[in-house]
Structure 1
Amino acid sequence: MKKLKSPHSTQSSINHSLLFHYLFVLILIYGLAILVTVSQVKIGFIEDTLQKADWPAKVLLTETFGNENVLFNQAIKKQDRPKTVYHLLFEAMTELRFDDNRSLFGSELPGFTIYNTRIFIAGKGLNYTNLPKDNPPSPEINIEPPKEKTPQENAKDVPDQKLKKVVLLYHTHPWESYKPMNSGQDSTYTDPLKSVAKDADIIGKTLSENGVGYIHKYKQGWGYNEAYAKSRIIVQDALKQTPTLNYLIDIHRDSSGRSVTTMNIGSTSYARISIIIGEANPNYSANLYLAKQVKNQIDKKYPDLVRGIVGKTKLEGNGIYNQDLSKNAILVEIGGVDNNLQEITRSSKAFGEALAQVIKQNK
């Protein structure tokens, strides 16, 4: 005769079954949440890796057709072909790059983090020992802005009204000045014409002379650590007020000495120019392309005037530099702390001429 299960045994079996299903559902939910989170992080790494991949158009074209017809793969050498998807996945997960030994040693060797800066194009003399750099303002200067603007400062916001405004000139570090122009001091908040604002005045005038409209925003009153957050507000407000602005030029000067930031063309001395690109923004490739265009134009008339084009991540600088606000945004450094008025005037004109030519070509 078949033995019947007791009610207690049946209830216990049901409880165990419910507990098992509950745990299974709980593990499934948490597992899916973890997978989604991890996938989002990895996707971000993959997108960043793809964004930084420097593949010539002709290589990409050949590879695209090569996926359909293997004969196209013979058109380029094996070592010149772009990375495979497996390379990209490996780099995304480990942050190690096959073509850059710095990624292996950067986090292990003290002081090696300076090599997080990437030299896209090295001008004459530029290497990892003399990269462009900036320092906080002198501690004794007052970061509060003057109560009243000077007449020159008011004029900055209203250049030639007949020209369509396409260039915004501004300063994240408005205190940066030149010692020969500022009684031996490298910082000022009292006289814009002794600071990098002078560079922008010259660049703006040069743009106007070449038929390119601009706006120059010179604001003050913030410290070093909050500088990019504050200048970002200035840029965003300018873009709202003048939607035609497309080229965003943040003007600085290098903190390096004269031996690094000065050169002669013939018998005339110039303040050398550096261009900085933030690698942590979605417009990184487009901004780099603009920087290369400007450098190529300068090189035609002023060879070696550009020290180089360098890229910085958040590991070595701000990493974005407000360049996510436009596909035509760069940070330019005109000379260094020891350059004089004549030298920065010549170089600012050279930059303004080159930028105007690029803008006309890109219309």
Structure 2
Amino acid sequence: MLCFVFFWYLFAQNWDREPDRFLEQSFQWLMKATLQDPREVLLTSMPALAGQDTPEEMESPARVMSSWVTGLVGVDLSPKGILMAQIPLLAEISPPAAPVVTVTSRDSEKIGDLSAKPNLSKDTLVGIYNTHTGESYAFNGGTERVEGGRGGVVGVAREVQEVLEQEFAIRVSLSDKIHDKQYATSYLESEKTVQELVEQNPKLMALIDIHRDAGRSREASLVEVNGKKTASILIIIGSDARSPFPEWRKNYQFACRLAEKMDEMYPGLCLGVRVKDGRYNQFLHERAILVEVGTTNNSLEEAKASGAMFAKALAQVIEEDLKETKPTTSSDKEIPGGLIEPETPSEAKENQGKTVAAPLKSL
């Protein structure tokens, strides 16, 4: 209303003096006010859109004034209206029709395939996590570690999960929680994850902590499987050399079965089972193992390829166990060399302050 009074006042004061100049200035002011906000153009051209405005926009002075002028003199002040008034031919031109896109039955089938999931086992049979979540693969442009983030070992863990679920319908619970923001407390943090996995999935038949090794050359990081170079796999088993762990041999027996299956299916892939004097949270489950997939001198692609082969061997072991009518009662296997390997300096640092049992002379 105030805009109308103001405009009428200016009209009365200036019409008799310079009517042409007054109309020109008024038109320029209206166009400037309208074009400052692109939404003004649409709302001026299509008043029905005003119902969608926010309360702050509904009383725009520029819109009130332009609407008043349009109604008074019959001039559409929108850019399209101005062009059509100046070039009448534009009013006769219809915009091209938008193409209609239809989804064929083949496209529908593809969409359905992407969302389809196999009929997974009722119970979660495998748990996977990464204590050193930031470990990664430096070869071929990668990095050795992603500080405070998820490195290549998480990609390997996901590859193992995908093979188990998609090819063998074995349900997997995978945790990609970051445990090594403070490297020295990595195993304390992952212990919480292991406890959750075990408590939430009482039917677990394997609990896998996926790592990557370090300190090996490029040549020593490669093995040949079926004529193709790929990343090696090494299984690490903890013991009771430093802390109580009475059931660790069960973990060792499971690891040996898995290594034998890899040797059977993919000769050369697995470097064997190595027993060390840390516990690596394996005391929380009798089938918990630590798996080193490749080294810093492998590529992520090589590690994933080996992870897929590891998953297939693991699936075979699980399927064999599911077919058995009674639990396995195989005797304890003798550890090669009869001695437990010492910890690395970083492992020794992590275990400082923990209860230390008398060292084993032989097993």
With 216-225 and 227-236 compared, the bigger mean Cα shift is at 216-225
* Of 158, 162, 175, the match for 1:205: 162
Residues 277 and 287, structure 1, Cα contact 8 Å, conserved in 2 = yes
Output the amino acid matched with 1:257.
Answer: S
- Structure 2 Cα separation of the partners of residues 184 and 260 of structure 1: 18
* SS of residue in 2 equivalent to 1:339: coil
Alpha-carbon distance change, 161 to 189 in structure 1, aligned in 2, over 3 angstroms = farther
Distance in 2 (CA, whole Å) between partners of 1:350 and 1:325 is 26
Q: Distance in 1 between matches of 2:308 and 2:160?
A: 6
Task: From 262, 268, 288, give the equivalent of 1:329.
Answer: 288
Task: Determine the C-alpha separation between the residues in 1 that align with 2:226 and 2:190.
Answer: 38
* Aligned mates of 2:239, 2:118 — CA distance in 1: 32
Residue 279 (structure 1) aligned with residue 236 (structure 2)? no
Q: Given the alignment, which residue of 177, 183, 186 partners 1:227?
A: 186
2:174 match: 216
**Shift in Å at residue 161 of structure 1?**
6.1
Quote the offset at 1:188 in angstroms: 0.7
CA contact (8 A) 2:121 2:169 kept: no
Out of 307, 314, 321, the position equivalent to 1:362 is 321
1:299 aligns with 2:230: no
Query: Relative to structure 1, is the Cα distance of residues 179 and 166 closer, same or farther in structure 2, using a 3 angstrom cutoff?
Result: same
Which residue pairs with 1:269 in the alignment?
229
Matched residue, 1:103: none
Return the alpha-carbon distance in structure 2 between the equivalents of residues 301 and 204 of structure 1.
19
SS at 2:246's partner residue?
A: coil
Give, in whole Å, the separation in 2 of the partners of 1:302 and 1:287.
Answer: 22
The alpha-carbon distance between structure 1 residues 327 and 162, as it changes in their structure 2 partners (threshold 3 A), is closer
Q: In structure 2, what is the equivalent of residue 196 of structure 1?
A: 153
Displacement of 1:265: 2.6
SS of 1:196's equivalent? helix
Contact 1:199 1:344 in 2 (8 A): yes
Q: Distance in 1 between matches of 2:302 and 2:123?
A: 29
For the 8 Å contact 1:177–1:195, the answer to whether it is kept is yes
Q: What is the TM-score of this pair, normalised by structure 1?
A: 0.51
Secondary structure of the structure 2 residue equivalent to 1:243: coil
Q: Is the 8 A contact 1:159 1:214 kept in 2?
A: no
Secondary structure, aligned partner of 1:180: coil
**Relative to 1, partners in 2 of residues 1:163 and 1:349: Cα closer, same or farther, differing over 3 Å?**
farther
Cα distance in 1 for partners of 2:119, 2:160 equals 13
CA-CA distance at 1:180 after TM superposition? 2.9
Q: Any conservation in 2 of the 1:298–1:351 contact (CA below 8 Å)?
A: yes
**Displacement of 1:343:** 1.4
Amino acid at match of 1:206: V
What is the CA-CA distance between 1:160 and the residue it aligns to?
7.5
Conserved 8 A contact 1:274-1:334: yes
Structure 2 Cα separation of the partners of residues 284 and 232 of structure 1: 16
Q: Aligned partners of 2:118, 2:177: CA distance in 1, in Å?
A: 16
Structure 1: gaps of 5 or more residues: 1-157, 314-318
SS at match of 2:267: coil
- Higher RCO (CA < 8 A, seq sep 6+): 1
CA distance in 1, matches of 2:122, 2:227: 36
Distance of 2:301 and 2:263 partners within structure 1: 20
Q: Which range moves more in the overlay, 171-180 or 212-221?
A: 212-221
Query: Counterpart in 2 of 1:93?
Result: none
Q: Is the 8 A contact 1:246 1:326 kept in 2?
A: no
Task: Determine helix, strand or coil for the equivalent of 2:184.
Answer: coil
Residue 283 of structure 1 contacts residue 326 of structure 1 at CA under 8 Å; is this kept in 2?
Answer: no
Per the alignment, residue 70 of structure 2 pairs with none
In structure 1, what residue type is equivalent to 2:156? D
**TM-score scaled by length of structure 2:** 0.51
**Are 2:131 and 2:209, in contact at CA under 8 Å, matched by a contact in 1?**
yes
Alignment partner of 2:209: what SS? strand
Amino acid at match of 2:246: P
User: C-alpha separation between the residues in 1 aligned to 2:136 and 2:211?
Assistant: 9
Q: Which residue of the other structure, out of 186, 199, 209, is the alignment partner of 1:240?
A: 199
**Any idea what SS the aligned residue of 2:183 has?**
coil
Q: Offset at 1:243?
A: 2.4
How far apart, CA to CA, are the structure 2 residues paired with 1:237 and 1:213?
16
Residue 226 of structure 1: SS of its match in structure 2? helix
State the distance in 2 between where 1:160 and 1:323 align.
30
Compute the displacement of 1:341 (Å): 2.8
Identical amino acids, percent of aligned pairs: 34
Bigger CA radius of gyration = 2
Aligned-pair CA distance for 1:272: 0.4
**What is the distance in 2 between the residues matched to 1:203 and 1:355?**
10
